[in-house]
Amino acid sequence: MKRSKILIAAIVILVFWQVFAMVIDLPMAPTSIEIFSAFFDGLINGDLFIHFMWSLFRVLASTILAILIAAPLGMILGQSKRLDNFFSPAIYMLYPIPKVVFVPVVLLFFGIGNFPKILIIFIILFFQILVLVRDYAAGLPPELIYSVRSLGAGRLGLFWYVYLKGSLPAVLTALRQSIGTAVAVLYVAELFATREGLGYYIFMNGSSRFDYPAMFAGIVALSIMGVILYFTTEDLEKLLTPWINRKS
């Protein structure tokens, strides 16, 4: 997707909201100018920036953890039909469940702090990466595996040169598909037992302080984070898997 189209869409939305807010003229619907004034004020005084960095840290930590655990497991399941047949029923039972329902369960078991919030996002990314990587690994052409084996590669060599590189597109695709859900769940997770993060920032300014421009500024920051993460993943995909044809 071209970045210019995203920029044009954002400008159209901002112009529409400016007109809409001016027409209805209500305190809970600040204009685009007021929202961006609060946005830059929050960045300058550091308040919004600190909350943004906390949320970004939680997303990045959960993403790295999910890749390190789910990708190797997916490759192993993709290589072994016996293991895949054993674990598939549990995977298919848990995979369709909306992961947001685990928020109260995780908070109940692990309490406050960063770990439960990171764990919630990790659960989302884990199943997406696990399933896609497993399917990619299982679908690799047998002739490719045989040819690498004929060159003297052992199990470790196959894992590194065939399964890892062959499954890399699945990992990055899973990340792109999961970013929106992960950010949404991050917002829900940061509503509970925390004083840092954009979820907390949005909720407090909207529900307790009635500072609606700051509330919308937090929403803008959350949207910007999602866009940054999406395009960063897209750029990594182009860099690490140049052999895949893509349309802009």
- Which residues fall within 8 angstroms of residue 124, CB to CB, at 6 or more apart? 99, 178, 181, 182, 185
Q: List per-residue pLDDT tens for the chain, 248 residues long.
A: 567 788 898 899 999 999 999 999 898 899 999 999 999 999 999 899 999 999 999 999 998 898 889 988 988 888 788 998 999 899 888 888 887 788 888 888 887 788 888 998 898 889 888 988 888 878 776 666 667 667 666 666 666 667 677 777 878 888 887 888 888 888 888 887 788 899 999 999 998 889 999 999 999 999 999 999 988 888 888 887 776 655 54
CATH architecture of 48-240: Orthogonal Bundle (1.10)
Domains of the chain, by residue range, sit at 48-240
Cα 193 from Cα 134, distance rounded (Å): 36
Whether the predicted model's global pTM rises above the 0.85 cut: no
Residue appearing with tokens 């399964």 = 163
Which tokens hold the place of 183?
């950010």
